[in-house]
Structure 1
Amino acid sequence: MGIRGLNALVSENAPKAIRSSELKSLFGRKVAIDASMCLYQFLIAVRQQDGSVLTNESGRTTSHLMGFFYRTIRMAGHGIKPCYVFDGKPPVMKGGELEKRLKRREDAEKKATEAKEAGQAAELMKYQRRTVRVTREQNEDAKKLLKLMGIPFVEAPCEAESQCAELAKAGKVYGAASEDMDTLCYQPPFLLRNLTAAEARKLKIDEYNIKEVLKGFDMPIEQFIDMCILLGCDYCETIRGVGPVTAMKMIRKYGSLEKIVETIENDPKSKYKVPENWPYKEARQLFLHPEVTPGSEVDLKWTEPDIDALINFMVKENGFNEQRIRDGAAKLSKALKSGTQERLDSFFRVSGTKSSNKKRTTKEEAKNGNKKKTRRRR
C-alpha cells in the first residue's frame, strides 16, 4: 500500500528532492530492486491476447519468467546493474493489512466469476488481474532464473524495501528501486520509482533524494516517519478524518505523535478519535530499526550467464523460443561487460580536484614569484 498521499506532499513541499530523468541517466549504477513488487507487476502485465497468463505445457505460469528475463536485459542494456531483493517473513504488525488484501482478492474472485457468467470480457479481465497472488513456487522460479543469468539477488529477513534501503545506505548500490513511498522511511540515499516500467511504458524515472526530502519538510527523520504513520501505512491504521495536509500541520505544530495523541485525548470536543491500542510506537520502531541483513555482510557479484543451463530451464522446461533466449543471454553478457565502465561524473570529480590543485599551485607560485621580485627591487 505504501503511504497515503505522501507523493503529493513531497512534490509540493520538497520539489527539489525529486529529479525526473531517462533510464540512461543511471548508466554505470548498481541498483537494488524490490523483486516481490516486480513479480506482481509481471504476473499482472505479461499476458496473452485473451488476458490469461503465459504458461508452459504443464500449465505452470511463466509470465514472471518472461518479465524478469527481458526487463533485466533491457536495464543491463542501459548500463544498469540490477540486484533483486525478495521479501522474507512479513512483520507481525502487517497482519491486518494482509487480511485486507486477502479480502479484496476474494471479492475480486467473486466478481470475476460473475463477469465470466455474464460474458463481460473487459470486466472479467479487470477482476482477474486483481486476484493475482505470488506463490512460493514463482518466487523460487524467479531466483533460479536470476542465478542462471548471473544476476545477484538477496533474500531479505523481512521487508524487501527495507533491505533495498540498507544496501543503498551501505554503499553496495546507488539507490533502492520500489513503487512504495514508504521506502523513504527506511532512509535510502535515493528512492527510484518507475525503474522497472520506465522503458516499457515510456515513463521517466523519479529519483527521490532523502536529504532533500527532509530538508524540504524541515523535519528530522523521526518527525517525518511520524507524519507518514499519521498519513496511513501498512503497519497500523490512521486517525479517521486526518488527511495529508492535516497530518503535516499536526506534526509541525505538536512535533510528535505522542503529543498529538495526548492533545486529542485531553480535548473532549476534539472531532478526532485515536484508534484503541493504536500501535504507532511499534510502527515507528519498524521504520527506524527494520529487520535487515547488514549491508556489510552482503557480497553482490554479477557473473556470466550460464547459457546451457538457461536453455534447459527456459526452453526445455518452460517452452520459450531457444534463439530468443540465446540472443537475450548474449545481449546480457555484452551489456554487463560494458556496464563495468565508470560513470563520467566520477572522472569529472577527479579531474576537477586535480584542476583545483593546479590552480592553487599556480597562484602560490605566482605569489612567491612576486615576493622574489619585490626583494630584488629592494
Structure 2
Amino acid sequence: MGIARLADVIKEEAAEAVSSFPLRQYRDRVIALDASIAIYQFRTATPKLFNRNGENISHLQGLFYRTLHLLENGIKPVFVFDGQPPDLKQPLLARRAEAAGARRDAAESRRAENLPRPLKQDCETLLSYLGVPYVQAPAEAEATCAALVKSGKVWCTATEDMDALPFGSLRLIRHLNSKNNCEVEEFSLPDILQKLGMTQEQFVDLCILLGCDYCGKIWQLGPKKALKLLQQHGTIEQVLQNIDPQKHPLPANWDLEGARRLFLQPEVADPGRITLEWRDPDPEGLVRFLAHEKHMNEARVCRRLQRWQEAQPKPEEAQPKHQATREGRRQRKLGEFFPASKRARPPEVPGPRPSRKRQKPQAGMPAEAGSPEPGM
C-alpha cells in the first residue's frame, strides 16, 4: 500500500516539489530500484508469459528488458530486495494473503514480500549476467534504498510506493518503464518539507495519519483535514487533543511509537559495507540462462542483446586482440558474440543535476513485462 493518498497531497499542496523528466535526464546517475515492486509489476502484467514447462517467467522478461533499457540510457541501476517484514506489518500481510487466497491467486499478492527462494534466485542470476549489482535489505527494501540515497551512494529511489519518502529518501522517482519516450515523476523530499512547512518527524506523522503499512488509520480523518491539523498542532498527540474521539476513534492496537520508529530508525543494510560495481552484460550467459534454462524465445533474447550492443558508443581506436587464458581457452567477449564494438563505461562520478522542467506530472504504471518486446 505504501502511504495512502500521499502523492495526491503533495501534488495539491506542494506541487513545486514534483517535476517531470525524460529518463535520459538521469544519464550517469545511480538509481536504487525496489526489486519487489518491479517483480510485482512484471508478474501481474497481462498477458503473462509462460514457458514450455508452464512456468510464469514474466518477471525475468521484464527484468531483462527494463535493465537493458536503463543501461542503454547510461543509467547505473542497483536492485534492492526486501528482507524480513517488520512485526507491525504482519497484520497487513495476513490480510493480503487472505484476499489473495480468496481470489485463488495467492502467488500474485499485492507485494512480493518473502519472494519464493527459486524466484528470487532466478532474478539474482539474471542480474549477475547483466552485470548489475543487487543488495539484500535486512527489512524493508525502501528503507535501505533511502539509506543508500542519504549516504550519497545512489542518486534516487525508483519505486511506486511513496513510503521511500518517510524513510528519508531525498529523491523518489515513479512511473519508470522501458518505453523510449518514458517520462518519470521526481519527488524532492527537501522541497516537500519546505513547502509543507514540516520537519521530517512531522512528515512521518502526516504519513501515519494518512494511512501506512504499520498501523491502522484514524476513522473519518481525511488527507486534507489531517494535513491541516498537523500543520496547526505539530504532532499527532496534539492533534488527538483537538479532535472529537467519538467522531474520530483510534484503530485497535494502534502502535504510534512503533510506526514512528520504523520510519525514523529503520533496520537497513549498512551503506558503508556495500560496494557497487557494474560490468558489461555476458551475452553467452544470458542466452544460456534465459533461452536454454528458462525457455524464453532465443531469437528474441539475441535480438534484444544485439539492439543493446548496437546502441553502445563506438570506440575511436580498434580494440586489441584478446589473449588466450592459461587453460588454452578464452572467454568469448561481447564484440565476438555480436559483431559490434565494446561498450564504453559511463563515468563513476555523477554529473551536475539536470535543471528542472516544471510540467504536470503524468500518471500511469509501467506494465511492459507481458508484451512481446517491451520498450520497442
1:23/1:199 contact within 8 Å kept: no
Deviations 1:257-314 (A, max 9, x none): 12223445xx66x421122441011101100011001211111100122333222211
Matches of residues 66-77 of structure 1 in structure 2 within 5 Å? 66-77=61-72
Counterpart of 2:296, as a letter, is F
Residues 154 and 128 of structure 1: CA distance in aligned 2, closer, same or farther (over 3 Å): closer
Residues 247 and 95 of structure 1: CA distance in aligned 2, closer, same or farther (over 3 Å): same
Q: Which residue of 1 aligns with 2:95?
A: 100
Residues 241 and 258 of structure 1: CA distance in aligned 2, closer, same or farther (over 3 Å): same
1:288 correspondence with 2:268: no
Higher normalized contact order (CA 8 Å, seq sep 6+, divided by chain length): 2
Q: Which residue of 1 aligns with 2:216?
A: 237
Q: Report the Cα distance in structure 1 between the residues aligned to 2:258 and 2:350, rounded to whole angstroms.
A: 44
Deviations 1:117-162 (A, max 9, x none): xxxxxxxxxx997789653321111111101111110111111111
1:46/1:67 contact within 8 Å kept: no
**Counterpart secondary structure, 1:185:** coil
Counterpart of 1:85 (choices 80, 84, 89) is 80
Deviation, structure 1 residue 250: 1.5
Counterpart of 2:277, as a letter, is K
Q: Which residue of 2 aligns with 1:205?
A: 184
1:163/1:293 contact within 8 Å kept: yes
Q: Report the Cα distance in structure 2 between the residues aligned to 1:22 and 1:338, rounded to whole angstroms.
A: 22
Matches of residues 168-183 of structure 1 in structure 2 within 5 Å? 168-183=149-164
Q: Report the Cα distance in structure 2 between the residues aligned to 1:229 and 1:198, rounded to whole angstroms.
A: 33
Residues 69 and 82 of structure 1: CA distance in aligned 2, closer, same or farther (over 3 Å): same
Deviations 1:330-374 (A, max 9, x none): 55564794460479954999xxxxxxxxxxxxxxxxxxxxxxxxx
Q: Which residue of 2 aligns with 1:297?
A: 273
Residues 344 and 305 of structure 1: CA distance in aligned 2, closer, same or farther (over 3 Å): closer
Residues 2 and 339 of structure 1: CA distance in aligned 2, closer, same or farther (over 3 Å): farther
Q: Report the Cα distance in structure 2 between the residues aligned to 1:2 and 1:85, rounded to whole angstroms.
A: 17
Structure number with greater Rg is 1
Q: Report the Cα distance in structure 1 between the residues aligned to 2:129 and 2:224, rounded to whole angstroms.
A: 48
Q: Report the Cα distance in structure 1 between the residues aligned to 2:350 and 2:242, rounded to whole angstroms.
A: 53
Q: Report the Cα distance in structure 2 between the residues aligned to 1:342 and 1:330, rounded to whole angstroms.
A: 25
1:191/1:208 contact within 8 Å kept: yes
Q: Report the Cα distance in structure 2 between the residues aligned to 1:60 and 1:170, rounded to whole angstroms.
A: 39
1:35 correspondence with 2:35: yes
Deviation, structure 1 residue 8: 1.1
Matches of residues 272-283 of structure 1 in structure 2 within 5 Å? 272-283=248-259
Structure 1 residue runs of 5 or longer lacking an equivalent are 48-52, 113-126, 350-378
1:25 correspondence with 2:16: no
TM-score w.r.t. length of structure 1:
0.78
1:86/1:153 contact within 8 Å kept: yes
Residues 281 and 131 of structure 1: CA distance in aligned 2, closer, same or farther (over 3 Å): closer
1:340 correspondence with 2:316: no
Query: Which consecutive aligned stretches of 4+ in structure 1 deviate over 6 angstroms post-superposition?
Result: 127-133
Structure 2 residue runs of 5 or longer lacking an equivalent are 314-341, 356-376
Residues 106 and 141 of structure 1: CA distance in aligned 2, closer, same or farther (over 3 Å): same
Counterpart of 1:57 (choices 34, 45, 52) is 52
Q: Which residue of 1 aligns with 2:358?
A: none
Residues 9 and 338 of structure 1: CA distance in aligned 2, closer, same or farther (over 3 Å): farther
**Counterpart secondary structure, 1:154:** strand
Identity rate of aligned residues, in percent? 37
Q: Report the Cα distance in structure 2 between the residues aligned to 1:311 and 1:260, rounded to whole angstroms.
A: 58
Q: Report the Cα distance in structure 2 between the residues aligned to 1:246 and 1:347, rounded to whole angstroms.
A: 35
1:166/1:295 contact within 8 Å kept: yes
Deviations 1:56-92 (A, max 9, x none): 3332221111110011111111111111111111111
1:27/1:339 contact within 8 Å kept: no
Deviations 1:99-129 (A, max 9, x none): 12112212322xx8xxxxxxxxxxxxxx997
* Cα RMSD after superposing both structures: 2.7
TM-score w.r.t. length of structure 2:
0.79
Q: Which residue of 1 aligns with 2:290?
A: 314
Deviations 1:139-191 (A, max 9, x none): 11111110111111011111111111111111111100010011110111210
Counterpart of 1:85, as a letter, is V
Counterpart of 1:260 (choices 239, 242, 245) is 239
1:89/1:159 contact within 8 Å kept: yes
Q: Report the Cα distance in structure 2 between the residues aligned to 1:23 and 1:348, rounded to whole angstroms.
A: 11
